[in-house]
Chains A and B, each alone.
Chain A
Amino acid sequence: MWRPLILVELLLEPLRHDFMVRALVISALVGGVCGLLSCYMTLKGWALMGDAVSHAVLPGVVLAYALGLPFSLGAFVFGVGSVAAIGFVKQKSRIKEDTVIGLVFTGFFALGLVLVSKTRSNIDLTQILFGNVLGISAADIQQTWMICLVVVALLLLFRRDLLLFCFDPTHARSIGINTGLLHYLLLSVLSLAAVAGLQTVGIILVVAMLVTPGATAYLLTDRFDRMTWLAIGSSVLSSLLGVYLSYWTDSSTAGCIVLVQTGLFLMAFLLAPRHGILCRPSS
């Protein structure tokens, strides 16, 4: 009789703290939104792009703080700007794309670091790099909700076009769909989601939120609709479990969330019905 009660107590006790309730809600929200986006990222092969954009938003965040603007705006400008820079350098030089991505985003990131040390403000670098969902402010919560709503609305509105864009851009183009617009739409959504993810897990780990759930879901199904639900589900579950774990063990929240995500991925990698390495039908 008492054993289930202990489990219930273990789950309910943290909810007495307001900061825990906020952290759970916000990480689940951001997890769900990033999970949905991660399907497109993994299918489009944009994991590296996600990494680049999430790092490149740093100077934007710092400048926005310094200027008193909403930092999603700064992040958005620099996120999209970094991708434009990547495209420009790639087109105008003989350097290969992965090299260009590597050098552009580190350049942006370095600029961000210098700006942080030069602007006299109360920006906490650790908070930006590693997230601080337990101490998230009311203003940040509001902003995160806004960002998430915009991202979900855009992804739902254009989900079929984006799927086609990931799958076969040539066909999309040949039936008169504006693929350039979709390209920048997906990038904008990525920049926005990176800002939302930054709140919960920080710049360093946000790429995990944007890649891992999609990769896990991709191993579990051959249907896109199911893939999105699985990605959202696994991502929300990881966020909730991760926040609890960090509470119970008094360890990094971002680390715990991403660790649970990685754990779920490993389970799918080993045990997925058709694509897991232990269950793959021998051919």
Chain B
Amino acid sequence: MTIRIAAEQLCVDYNGSVALYDASLTLPAGCICGMVGMNGAGKSTLFKALTGFVRPSRGRIRINGLKVAEAQREQAVAYVPQSEGIDCDFPVSVWDVVMMGRYGSMNLLRIPRQSDRLAVRDALERVELLDLRDRPLSALSGGQRKRAFLARAIAQRASVLLLDEPFNGVDVRTEKLMAELFLQLRSQACSILISTHDLSHVQDFCDVVVLINKTVLAYGETSEVFTAENLSQAFGGLPPDVLRGQTP
């Protein structure tokens, strides 16, 4: 089986304070993985390491068997940001945003070819935003914006998708559509890593789950990982509100 993400004994520290230690994770192709942990548990640090923003002080990462920078040049990694990290008033249209997913495959001047336009159109169709392609980003609802960024990742044709809290502040329609898209992408041998604090989504459609608190506490199938003991370790003995009524 193809391994998409292989992280071995990662350590990341910022100016001496440890953000992640000894974290290992292996994600095969065609797999949806939920990443669960508190704020500051190291979820975004792991994303940053996988997108090359921080360099691990120890350990190594391989994506499709390649180093991070090489995998990025191959357009293997797509990152779907949290809406909070994006300036929603930025003067770009939906079409522009999705086209940015194609930049890595274009020449230096980033002049779109017919194939790029087709990829963008196809991605917009799949997230049901084709009608709104000329709208400025600022005129979209939160859910539509999420879909636009997902379309960008689809247009990129990446095999590894990293999604930062994709279900935050999203309407029901978008949530349903995104879940369907994740399943489609899985069937196309993509691997999807989703950071979330909402455990119900994890139970609904994640194949595996990884619990994080400065390191990988537990990793495996959802039913095995979601034990009271693991969860209390992940959340420091204080199960968050989202857990109520959902713990086994």
Interface residues of A (CB under 8 A from B): 43, 157, 160-161, 163-164, 166-168, 170-177, 218, 221-224, 226-227
Contacts and interface: CB of A to CB of B under 8 A. Distances in A.
B91 A175 contact: no
B138 A222 contact: yes
Contacts of B87: 43, 167
Interface stretch (B75-83, B117-125, B167-175, B180-188): B75-83
Given A167-B90, A170-B51, A160 B109 contact: yes
Interface in B66-117: 69, 72-75, 77-79, 81, 85-87, 90-93, 96, 100-101, 103-104, 108-110
A4 B181 CA distance: 65
Residue of B86, B87, B91 with highest tally of chain A CB at under 10 A: B91
Contact of B156 (A164, A173, A175): A175
Interface size for chain B: under 10, 10 to 19, 20 to 34, or 35 or more residues?
20 to 34
Residue of B100, B108, B156 with highest tally of chain A CB at under 10 A: B100
B139 interface: yes
Given A160-B103, A222-B91, A226-B91, 13 more contacts: A161-B110, A163-B92, A164-B100, A167-B90, A167-B100, A170-B53, A170-B85, A171-B81, A174-B52, A175-B72, A175-B104, A222-B136, A224-B91
Contact of B104 (A167, A176, A224, A226): A176
B152 interface: yes
Going nearest first, the 7 A-B pairs with the smallest beta carbon separation are: A222-B136, A175-B104, A176-B72, A160-B110, A176-B73, A174-B79, A174-B51
A226 B92 CA distance: 11
Interface string B115-144: 000000000000000000000111100000
Given A174-B72, A223-B93, A161 B103 contact: yes
9 contacts: A43-B87, A161-B103, A170-B51, A173-B52, A174-B77, A175-B78, A176-B69, A176-B73, A177-B104
A205 B96 CA distance: 34
A222 B139 contact: yes
Interface of B: 51-53, 69, 72-75, 77-79, 81, 85-87, 90-93, 96, 100-101, 103-104, 108-110, 136-139, 152, 156, 162
Contacts of B51: 170, 173-174
Nearest to B51: A174
Residue of A43, A174, A218, A226 with highest tally of chain B CB at under 10 A: A174
Residue of A160, A175, A218, A226 with highest tally of chain B CB at under 10 A: A175
A166 B92 CA distance: 11
A98 B151 CA distance: 36
